[in-house]
Every structure is written in structure tokens, then in C-alpha cells.
Amino acid sequence: MFYDPQQFPFVRLLEQNWQTIRREMQALQEGEFIAWPEHSIYGEKGWNTFGLYAFAQRQKRGCALCPETAKLVRKVPKMMMAGFSRIAPGGHIKPHCGYEGYSGLVLRCHLALDVPEGCGLRVGNETRTWTPGKCLVFDDSFEHEAWNHGDRARTILLLDFRNPFRRGPLILNPQFTPELIDFIEKEHLPRAGLMQKLAYRAWRMFNRS
């Protein structure tokens, strides 16, 4: 399900500053992007990401490399996740739904930065494409998929924020896939800060009970 982006005041801020965000993205070395660990939904190559915030926790290196972008996404009310998402030419993220206990409680925003012809995003029964400098907002609890049939990579700023249309307490308890848990424990946590390590351990204890 797509939403009208203009319902969300922060969208104007991002769109007004999209060229600043794009310049910081373009200044990154290709090696700063990492392959998204859930290969089961896209194959062995084709989807790479660069993190700024993960579950509201600042990613130190990412924010240091993209300071202006980091400042802008911090202004998004109840922002939970932010980073760059890149699909290589020929890449296809297969139909899937977001994590139980997380999707639906947040909404997802894509700010288009570099989009060749032949790219698309389907959410539910509706398919749209990205326009550079403009945002799409959708609920990723609905089945969705994305593809790049173009001649160069498609790159967007992706961010999640608390769903303002959900009433009552919003308790996030994401049910990660085994692929993502393996990546977090082997690759991410050894480099993470103390608060991120403690938060993850608390989540694991809760979900083992």
C-alpha cells in the first residue's frame, strides 16, 4: 500500500535537499556498500546497502562519511532506519513482506537519487517507479518487490519511521530471518557500540523465552 508522500512534512525537507544527499552518496567508494545478507530474496549479487541508522542506533562510520545526510534523516520524526539501497543492473528483489513485529508498525520512505529507465517497485497490486528527487512512501507489511532492468545501478535513500496511523503502543519486536541474524552476530556486532550490543542481546533473550 502506497501513501501520498505529501502527508508527511519531512518529505519536503528530504526533497529540497536531495542533491546534497546524492552528492554524499556519489562520493562513497563502491567498497563502502555491503551485500544485503538475505540472499534468499535476491540471489548472490545485485543488492547492496550502506547504513546510517539501524533501529534508531547511529552507525558511526556511515554517519561520519555522510554527515549532511545524517543530519537530515535525524529530523524525520521517530526515524528507525536509514541508509542507501542500491540494486545493480539486472537485479531483482523477489516478492516478500517485511519482518513480523516490525513492518506495519513503521512506514518506509524511498528518496530517489539515481534511477535509470527500467526500474520499478510493486507494493500489493500497485506498481510505481522512482523519480529522482522525489519520495515514495509505503507499508512494507504488504507483499512487495523491486527490480532494475536498466543500464546502471538504481540508488535510493531508504528510511523507516514509526507509522503515525497505528493507534496504541507501538512495540517493535522484529522477527528476523536466520540469514540476517547470522550476519548481525558474525559481522555487525563485533564492530557495534555497547548500546547496540546490549539492545541486541536483550532482544535475543526475549525471543528465546
CA distance 155 to 142: 22
pLDDT at 209: 46
Task: For residue 157, give the C-alpha cell.
Answer: 535513500
- Distance, CA of 106 to CA of 130 (rounded, Å): 20
As a whole number of angstroms, the distance between CA 139 and CA 2 comes to 7
Give the pLDDT of residue 170.
65
Radius of gyration of the chain (CA): 16
Cell reading at 150: 536498466
Residue ranges with strand state E in 55-104: 57-58, 79-87, 92-96
Nearest to 95 by CA among 118, 70, 127: 127
Is the distance from CB of 69 to CB of 155 less than 8 angstroms? no
Q: What does the alpha-carbon distance between residue 182 and residue 27 come to, in Å, rounded to a whole number?
A: 30
47 Rama sector, left if φ>0, alpha if ψ -120 to 50, beta otherwise = beta
How much is the pLDDT for 168?
Answer: 64
C-alpha torsion sign, points 96, 102, 104, 107: negative
- Reading the block at residue 206, the C-alpha cell is 526475549
Cα three-residue angle 203-205-209, rounded to 5 degrees: 115
Architecture of the domain whose range is 2-167: Sandwich (2.60)
**Would you say 111 and 17 are in contact if contact means Cβ atoms under 8 Å apart?**
no
Per-domain residue ranges of the chain = 2-167, 176-209
Check residue 203 and give its pLDDT: 65
Averages of pLDDT over runs of 10 residues in the chain (209 residues) are: 96 98 96 93 93 89 97 96 97 94 92 98 97 97 97 97 82 79 80 71 65
